[in-house]
Structure 1
Amino acid sequence: MASLRSPSLPLLASLALTFILAVGPVTSTNAEDEQVAVGRVEPADPNDKEVQKAVKFAVKTYNDMNNDLYISRPIRVMSASQQVVAGKNFYLKIELGRTTCSKSQSDLSDCPFYEQPDQQMRVICNFQIYSVSWENKMSVTNFNCPRA
C-alpha cells in the first residue's frame, strides 16, 4: 500500500511526462510541417502554384484599379514571400508592363508588350495578398506602385 507521504512511481512518471510535454519544445517528424513556420515570413518559390495564383489575382486587381486603357501583365516576379496566419499572406514584388491589348478585348491571354519606347510603361508594385484557400477566398490587403 502506498503512503501519502511518498507518491507512487507511476504517479511520478506521469507527472514528469506531463511536465516535459508542457515545457519541452514541440518537434515534428513530418517534413511538410518543418517547411513553413506559423507567423514567420519566409521566402516563397515564385513558380509555386499558390504563389502564381496570388500573382494572377494581384495583377487583375492592379488592372481593375488603374485608369489605363491597356492591360498590364507581369514581366517578372522580383520577390515572393509567405506568412502562415489564419490562411496565408503573400508578399509579392512584381514588375508589370503595359501590353497592346485594351481592357475591352475579350481574349487577353497572349497580349504582347509595347515595343515603342514612348508607349512602354513599366512599373514595380508591392502587393500583400491574403488567401484562405480552403474557403476559396483571396483579397488584396495592401499594394503600392511607387513611381521612380
Structure 2
Amino acid sequence: MGVECWRNTLLLLAALVLAAKLGHFQRWGGFQEKSVSKKNMNSTLKFFIENYNNVSNDMYLFRIDKLLQSHMQLTTGVEYLVTVKISRTKCRKNSTKSHSCPIQSGKNLKKSFICNFLMYTVPWMNYYQLWNNSCLEA
C-alpha cells in the first residue's frame, strides 16, 4: 500500500505540472489598470466613502467628487487600488440625503482631499474590507 500511495501522489503531481505547463491555471498578474468609471465601481466607492464619513471628525459629509485612478487585481476576491478626490458637502452627518448633497461652495467650508485606498472585496458575497487609506488635502 505504501508504494501505491507514492505512485498516486507522483501521478497527481505530474498531472498538476503538465496542466500548469499547458496554461490551464490562470496566473494572477498583479494590479492591472481599470477603466476610470464610477459606474464600474459603485459599490466599492460607496463602501469607501461611507467608511470615511463614519471615522471622520468633520461635522459635514464628504462625497466622491472624481475618480482619478483605479487598478484591480484578482486574488481570492478582487483587490482595488484607487485614487479619488473627495469633497465636503453641505449636508451634516446626521442628514439622511447623503447621495444628493451638493458640494460646499463657500470659501470657509470648501474642503477637498485626494485619497488613495486599497480595498479587498468579494463582490458576489457582498463583502468589503478597507485595508489601507490615506488622504491629503487637495
Shorter-chain TM-score: what band? 0.7 to 0.9
Find the partner of 1:103 among 93, 103, 128.
Answer: 93
1:40 aligns with 2:40: no
Shift, 1:23, TM fit? 6.5
Partner of 2:3: none
Is the 1:69–1:103 contact (alpha carbons within 8 Å) kept by the matching residues of 2?
Answer: yes
2:21 maps to a residue whose letter is G
Structure showing greater radius of gyration is 1
Matches within 5 A, 1:61-80: 61-80=51-70
Could you give the per-residue CA deviations for residues 73-92 of structure 1, whole angstroms, max 9, x where no partner exists? Answer: 01101100101011010111
The percent identity for this pair of structures is: 25
Shift, 1:129, TM fit? 0.9
Q: Which runs of at least 4 in structure 1 moved beyond 6 Å after TM superposition?
A: none
In 2, Cα distance between the equivalents of 1:22 and 1:67?
53
Shift, 1:49, TM fit? 4.8
Partner of 1:135: 125
Partner of 2:47: 57
RMSD between aligned residues: 2.5
Is the 2:119–2:128 contact (alpha carbons within 8 Å) kept by the matching residues of 1?
Answer: yes
Partner of 2:23: 26
Q: TM-score if structure 2 supplies the norm length?
A: 0.78
1:24 maps to a residue whose letter is K
Say how many residue pairs are matched.
Answer: 124
More helix by share: 2
Q: TM-score if structure 1 supplies the norm length?
A: 0.73
In 2, Cα distance between the equivalents of 1:126 and 1:115?
24
Find the partner of 2:108 among 118, 126, 132.
Answer: 118
